[in-house]
């Protein structure tokens, strides 16, 4: 009779036979262990929308910055030229301002920086082909003091630059 009761209890209760003993022990049911937040695979799905929102915010701020920069350039381009300050350490405060100076170019010390590819404005004229050339940097000797400033006089094509007579005409 006891054997039947014991078998019935084993089948219908939450007990489990312990393999090391012939007696039964109660095994409590525990809740499944929670994974840490970073180990749950579903949380990795949040990375994509969070990244996209962050990039969208960055692009909007970048667009505002670019528009402000373009407005500043247009505003300063239309201004009357200002005199070059006596103290050249303050020149960095005059970024993008038109400046009025008196003096002459020192063509003997002209520098050519190249090869450089063509400017984006000319690229459509050459049917998308790359044209190499040089930037012409010429020192400008100031008339009222013993200092020189460097002036980027622009980009010229290598074919035009190669002929000595063309360079002399440009001066």
- Angle subtended at Cα 157 by Cα 130 and Cα 141, rounded to the nearest 5 degrees: 135
Segment holding 139, helix H or strand E: strand 132-142
* DSSP state letters, 101-136: --EEE-GGG-EEEEEEEPPHHHHTTTTT---EEEEE
pTM score, whole prediction:
0.51
- Which alpha helices (H) appear in 78-133, and where do they start and end? 120-123
Determine the distance from the C-alpha atom of residue 83 to the mean position of all C-alpha atoms in its chain, rounded to a whole number.
Answer: 35
DSSP tag of 18: -
Backbone angles phi, psi at 45, to 5 degrees: -70, -20
Structure-block tokens of residue 19? 């393999």
Give me the pLDDT at residue 99, please. 85
Query: What is the full per-residue pLDDT of the chain (171 aa) written as tens digits?
Result: 666 766 766 666 554 555 555 555 555 566 666 777 667 777 778 888 899 999 999 999 999 999 999 999 999 889 998 888 888 788 777 888 888 889 999 988 888 887 777 655 555 555 556 677 788 899 999 998 888 888 888 887 776 666 666 666 666
137 within 8 A of 152, measured Cβ to Cβ: yes
Closest of 165, 141, 151, 147 to residue 113, by C-alpha:
151
């Amino acid at each position: 009779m006891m054997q039947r009761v014991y078998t019935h209890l084993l089948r219908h209760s939450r007990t489990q036979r312990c393999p090391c003993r012939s007696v039964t022990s109660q095994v409590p049911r525990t809740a499944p262990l929670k994974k840490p937040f970073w180990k749950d695979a579903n949380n990795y799905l949040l990375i994509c929308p969070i990244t996209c929102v962050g990039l969208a915010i960055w692009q909007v701020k970048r667009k505002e910055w670019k528009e402000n920069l373009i407005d500043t350039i247009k505003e300063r381009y239309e201004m009357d030229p200002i005199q070059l300050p006596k103290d050249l350490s303050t020149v960095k405060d005059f970024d993008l301002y038109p400046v009025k100076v008196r003096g002459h170019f020192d063509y003997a010390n002209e520098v050519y920086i190249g090869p450089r590819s063509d400017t984006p404005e000319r690229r459509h004229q050459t049917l998308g082909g790359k044209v190499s050339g040089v930037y012409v940097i010429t020192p400008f000797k100031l008339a009222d003091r013993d200092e020189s400033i460097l002036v980027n006089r622009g980009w010229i094509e290598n074919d035009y630059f190669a002929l000595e007579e063309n360079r002399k005409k440009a001066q």
